[in-house]
Amino acid sequence: MSFLRPQAKATLWRWREVLAGAGLLVLGLWWAFGATGWMLNGLGVGLIAIALGLVVLGVQRGRFRAGSDGPGVVQVVEGRVAYFGPLTGGAVDMAEITRLSLDRRLFPAHWILAQPGHDPLQIPVTAKGAEGLFDAFATLPGLRTEYMLRELARDTSNEAVIWQKGHSAPALH
Is residue 1 scored above 80 in pLDDT?
A: no
In the chain, domain spans = 6-64, 73-164
Model pLDDT for residues 138-152, shown as the tens digit of each residue = 999 999 999 999 999
Q: Residue 78 — left, alpha, or beta (φ > 0 → left; ψ -120 to 50 → alpha)?
A: left
Q: What does the pLDDT look like over 48-86, one tens digit per residue?
A: 999 999 999 999 988 888 777 789 999 999 989 999 999
Given a cut of 80, is residue 25 above it in pLDDT? yes
- Going by pLDDT thresholds of 50, 70 and 90, the confidence category of residue 155 is confident
Q: Which amino acid is present at 170? A: P
| CA dist., res. 123 & res. 109, Å (int) | 8
Closest CA to 81 of 94, 69, 65: 94
Position 36 scores a pLDDT of 73
Q: What local confidence, expressed as pLDDT, does residue 55 receive?
A: 95
Predicted local confidence at residue 35, as pLDDT: 72
